[in-house]
Amino acid sequence: MGYLERIDSYKDEMLKALAESVAAPSVKSDPVKTKDGELLPFGAGVHEALLQMLAKGKELGFDIYNDDNYAGHIEWKSENGGDDYFGIVGHLDVVPVGSGWATDPFEMVDKGDGFVYGRGTSDDKGPVVASLYALKALREEGFKPKMNIRVVLGLDEESGDISAEHYTEHCGHPALGFTPDADFPLVNGEMGILVFDLARKFSVKPGKDDLRLSKLEGGTAHNAVPAYAKAVIAGSKDQYDLIADRANLFCEETGYKLKTKKQGSSLVIEAFGTAAHGAHPDLGLNAVSILMAFLGNISFTNEELNDFIAFYNDNIGFDLHGERMGCFFEDGPSGPLIFNVGVAIINEDIATVSVNIRYPVSCTDDHVLKGIESVLEGTPVGIVTRMVQKPLYKDLDDPMVIEYMKAYIDETGDSEAQPMTIGGGTYAKMFNNILAFGAQFPEDENTMHQADEKFSIESFMKMTRVYARAIAALCCE
């Protein structure tokens, strides 16, 4: 039996391992301490996922390492010694659940349609499990690693870089490797990422009898298209009836979905869009933008609020490329800049909109910020930068690009698909000498960050074989 056949024999075991990982509710939360004083920097759910995966690695006969609960790895040690390692860098944290699930997000469900459902199945627990079992197959077939091979377990990839920084500080960067957290055949370029808040403080406080926006909330993460947004309005019954009528007309004219309902002495307006990854806002529909477009038809007593809503609708609206925010850039490898409003919070004191931008590899964050600042000039809207990740790009003749493409083509027979530049940010930007290699195949539906996230069982097995081919070629004898 060869290593590829061994992988096929692991199918049931791999699905069980994935179900165990999905069961850990690994949405990042505030740090907590145990009764023994042990710090869990990303919360109990993420810690549970780390311990579960390390236990699985130990069960399979590999060495394991817990990096102070900030990260960890599962290691196949080389007899050659040395500190160099081949890194397969994945993550166990997942984005918030959101709404619209047909099943429990943290109970993996096989509906018999060729997919398994659950938060993290495709992003990134499934690919982590696939990588681990690729190592198992190679080891059981007698391969010997030329250098140490590690499955590195990141814990806050979806929302930050603390885990990666802590791990690389203590354990160093890989000599080469990949992250199984994007697309096949290969990602040889990643657009830069810029996260910032647009904010305006309100100096005028509305009176008790004024028509006012008590609060607006939409979205759960800057790197996801919000599927739901809600506004709570205070006013009179006559005003509520008029707003409800306008909402019905707005829906008829636009095709967007709004609901209005009385709640105590307030009127609640709900907007419904479609969730998607912030790197692919074209696959979603932004509920915040729907709600802001409607609120632009209402004249609140607070003119500062009206001005902010107008600013949003005039300069952002449903734009996906920063066309009206002064930051539309594009190049050949990347295509156009990607602009996503992920979170909006408005109350009677301040309005804040969190934006996630993916900018072309030939561009810089300074270019983007200067363009935005030119639009903000002369307005009371300010900008606060939250995160910057520089772009990454490897030429097609780079040795890693060549070897990863060969492994993909040898397994799939697909010689048409070409390396790509993506808007998604992966661990390739945080760990030196790696590229994003899979795990989504060209024919797969992208449900990452969405309700009813699912993972193709056929692709699960196929990616494991691709990874085993690549690892065998690059660092085994």
C-alpha 236/C-alpha 432 separation (Å) is 59
Average pLDDT over residues 115-139: 98
220 with 154, same domain: the answer is no
Q: Is 433 left (phi over 0), alpha (psi -120 to 50) or beta?
A: left
114 and 239 housed in the same domain: no
For residues 359-373, give the mean pLDDT. Answer: 96
The pLDDT of 141-168, averaged and rounded, is 96
Res. 253: pLDDT tops 90: yes
Q: Determine the pLDDT at residue 424.
A: 72
Q: Give me the CATH number covering residue 348.
A: 3.30.70.360
Let me know whether 263 and 397 are in one domain. no
Q: Is the pLDDT of residue 457 over 90?
A: yes
Closest by alpha carbon to 89, among 51, 49, 124?
124
C-alpha–C-alpha distance, residues 84 and 29, integer Å: 33
pLDDT at 425 over 80: no
Given a cut of 90, is residue 206 above it in pLDDT?
A: no
Same-domain pairing of 321 and 383: yes
DSSP 6-50: HHHHTHHHHHHHHHHHHTS--B----EE-TT--EETT-HHHHHHH
Torsion sign, CA atoms 179, 157, 104, 54: positive
Q: Which residues face 285 on adjacent strands?
A: 274
Same domain, 424 and 449: yes
Q: Rounded distance, CA 173 to CA 123, Å?
A: 22
Structure-token match 């209402």, residue found:
298
User: Where does a domain end: 360, 389, 418?
Assistant: 389
pLDDT at residue 119, as a whole number: 98
As given in the structure block, the two tokens for residue 403 are 């070897």
Percent of the chain with pLDDT over 70: 100
pLDDT at 208 over 90: no
Enter the tokens of residue 140: 């059981």
Model confidence pLDDT, tens digit, residues 12-43: 999 999 999 999 999 999 999 999 999 999 99
Q: Is 208 helix (H, G, I), strand (E, B) or coil?
A: coil
Q: Are residues 211 and 89 in the same domain?
A: no
Q: Residue 318 has what pLDDT?
A: 98
Query: Which residues contact residue 457 at a Cβ distance below 8 angstroms, ignoring those fewer than 6 apart?
Result: 11, 15, 110, 114, 115, 116
Catalytic choice (93, 270, 365, 444): 93
Q: Averaged over 382-399, what is the pLDDT? A: 92
At 127 the pLDDT is 98
Over 80: is that where the pLDDT of 117 sits? yes
CA distance 467 to 88: 10
5 is catalytic: no
Q: Do residues 147 and 85 lie in contact, with contact meaning Cβ atoms separated by under 8 Å?
A: yes
* Rounded (10°) CA dihedral 449, 455, 1, 77: 20
> Residue 456, exposed/middle/buried by CB under 10 A (0-12, 13-18, 19+)?
buried
Phi–psi pair at 299, nearest 5 degrees? -100, 95
Show which of 327, 354, 389 is a domain's final residue: 389
* pLDDT given at position 422: 86
The residue range of the domain holding 230 is: 193-389
Using pLDDT thresholds of 50, 70 and 90, give the confidence band for residue 81.
confident
Residues 205 and 265 in one domain: yes
What is the side-by-side order of every strand in the sheet holding 338-347? 257-263, 266-272, 228-234, 212-218, 338-347, 350-359, 192-201, 382-389
Length of the chain, in residues = 477
Domain CATH number, residue 457: 3.40.630.10
**DSSP category for residue 94:** B
Residue 108: pLDDT band by 50, 70, 90 thresholds?
very high
Domain termination residue (choose one: 335, 363, 389) = 389
For range 197-226, the mean pLDDT: 92
- Average pLDDT for the chain: 96
Helix, strand, coil % over all residues of the chain, rounded to 5 = 35, 30, 40
Band of residue 160 on the pLDDT scale cut at 50, 70, 90: confident
Lowest mean pLDDT among 99-103, 392-396, 432-436: 392-396
Q: Are residues 99 and 200 in the same domain?
A: no
What is the pLDDT confidence band of residue 416, given thresholds at 50, 70 and 90? very high
Partners of 170 in beta bridges: none
Contact 186, 417 (CB under 8 A): no
pLDDT at 207: 79
Res 389: pLDDT: 87
Whether 157 is catalytic is yes
Interatomic CA distance for residues 477 and 471, integer angstroms = 10
Which pair of tokens denotes residue 468? 């085993």
Give how many domains the chain has, as a whole number: 2
Decide: 211 and 239 in contact? Cβ < 8 Å: yes
If you average pLDDT over residues 300-324, what whole number do you get? 97
H helices of 85-143, in order, are: 126-140
Segment 360-382 shows an average pLDDT of 96
| Mean per-residue pLDDT, 465-469 | 98
Cα→Cα distances 94→3, 71, 235, 406, Å = 31, 14, 40, 31
Same domain? For 356 and 409 the reply is no
pLDDT in the model for residue 403: 96
pLDDT for residue 311: 98
Whether 113 and 218 share a structural domain: no
Which of 75, 157, 181, 444 does the annotation list as catalytic?
Answer: 157
- Pair (59, 164) in one structural domain: yes
Per the listing, tokens 């509906």 go with 111
**Both 400 and 360 in a single domain?**
no
